């Protein structure tokens, strides 16, 4: 049997400021660092020992991973970093305040950009200096694979090849894996693992820095999944996220 933990990174500075973040490489907020420490304590108490970790290449996910691994004393395990685990790219919306966008474009359009499955935000121009293909970090990735803006559907299409090509084979080998990533890349994986429909995925909220465990048999079939925190804690955090996300 294999266990994986999906861990959305702790609260980032732009989460705190209610901004569209996407691929912008912002740091964790102090609260996010505390969340990551608590996540590490939960993982330590679960007695799950990891064989390796996967992580996005964004600072907030890397910091979350490092804090957790330090808390559990497993800093030396192999780590695989992949741009495919990055957050959904929000195009020209990145860096803009969500409330101000709602005031400009209306609640309905803003919620389509934020929560729908297949509606993309307005795209960056290819010569925009913030476009991934113009950043040193992504110089080894074919430019045609790098987004200028994504729907959740696009994010899913980017994330899942990593799951099937690299993560699932290790699950079948019985490895325990920690995956540190962002909200929408996590939603993309959960959508596939739990067979959530395109319509229902808009209602899925994954709280920050709450370890989500999936258990698999030797054939890579899911046995069960659960959060390490008590159900009432998860419910309260999800309700808080819903409240904060209303535009």
- The answer to whether residues 150 and 86 touch, using CB atoms and an 8 Å cutoff, is no
pLDDT digits (tens, 9 = 90+) for 192-226: 999 999 999 999 999 999 999 999 999 999 999 99
For 198, the enclosing helix (H) or strand (E) is none
Q: Is the pLDDT of residue 183 over 90?
A: yes
d(CA 179, CA 56): 9
d(CA 1, CA 217): 5
Dihedral of CA 12/17/21/26: which sign?
Answer: negative
Answer yes or no: 9 catalytic: yes
**DSSP 3-state of 160:** helix
- The answer to whether residues 32 and 60 touch, using CB atoms and an 8 Å cutoff, is yes
pLDDT of residue 225: 98
Ranked by mean pLDDT, the top range of 105-119, 144-158, 232-246 is 144-158
pLDDT of residue 35: 97
In DSSP notation, 42-84 reads HHHHHT---SEEEE-SSHHHHHHHHHHHHHHT-TTS-EEE-GG
Q: What is the mean pLDDT of residues 169-180?
A: 98
In DSSP notation, 73-99 reads T-TTS-EEE-GGGSPPP-GGGTTSBHH
Q: Is the pLDDT of residue 247 over 50?
A: no
- The answer to whether residues 96 and 21 touch, using CB atoms and an 8 Å cutoff, is no
Mean pLDDT, the chain, as a whole number?
95
For 212, the enclosing helix (H) or strand (E) is strand 212-216
pLDDT of residue 246: 53
pLDDT band at 147 (very low <50, low <70, confident <90, very high): very high
Residue in the block written with tokens 């910091």: 63
pLDDT of residue 58: 98
pLDDT of residue 238: 87
Beta strands in 112-197 (DSSP E): 177-181
Domain 2-209 listed as CATH 3.40.50.1240: yes
Q: What is the mean pLDDT of residues 217-239?
A: 94
- Domain map of the chain by residue range? 2-209
pLDDT of residue 51: 98
pLDDT band at 167 (very low <50, low <70, confident <90, very high): very high
pLDDT digits (tens, 9 = 90+) for 72-107: 999 999 999 999 999 999 999 999 999 999 999 999
Q: What is the mean pLDDT of residues 133-139?
A: 95
> Given 33, 35, 87, 156, which residue is catalytic?
87
Give φ, ψ of 174 to 5 degrees.
85, 15
Answer yes or no: 166 catalytic: no
d(CA 54, CA 52): 7
């Amino acid at each position: 049997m294999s266990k994986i933990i999906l861990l959305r990174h702790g609260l980032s500075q732009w989460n705190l400021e209610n901004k569209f973040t996407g691929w912008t490489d912002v740091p964790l907020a102090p609260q996010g660092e505390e969340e990551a420490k608590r996540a590490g304590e939960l993982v330590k108490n679960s007695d799950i020992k990891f064989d390796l970790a996967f992580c996005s290449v964004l600072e907030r996910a890397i910091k979350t991973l490092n804090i957790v691994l330090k808390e559990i004393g497993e800093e030396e395990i192999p780590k695989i970093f992949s741009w495919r685990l990055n957050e959904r790219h929000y195009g020209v919306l990145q860096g803009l305040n969500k409330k101000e966008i709602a005031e400009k474009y209306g609640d309905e359009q803003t919620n389509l950009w934020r929560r729908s499955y297949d509606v993309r935000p307005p795209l960056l121009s290819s010569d925009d200096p913030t476009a991934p293909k113009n950043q040193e970090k992504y110089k080894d990735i074919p430019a045609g694979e790098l987004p200028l803006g994504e729907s959740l559907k696009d994010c899913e299409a980017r994330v899942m090849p990593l799951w099937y090509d690299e993560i699932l084979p290790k699950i079948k080998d019985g490895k325990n894996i920690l995956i540190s990533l962002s909200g929408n890349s996590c939603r993309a994986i959960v959508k596939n693992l739990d067979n959530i429909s395109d319509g229902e995925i808009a209602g899925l909220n994954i709280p920050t820095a709450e370890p989500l465990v999936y258990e698999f048999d030797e054939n890579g079939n899911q046995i069960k999944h659960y959060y390490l925190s008590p159900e009432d804690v998860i419910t309260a955090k999800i309700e808080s996220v819903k409240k904060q996300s209303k535009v």
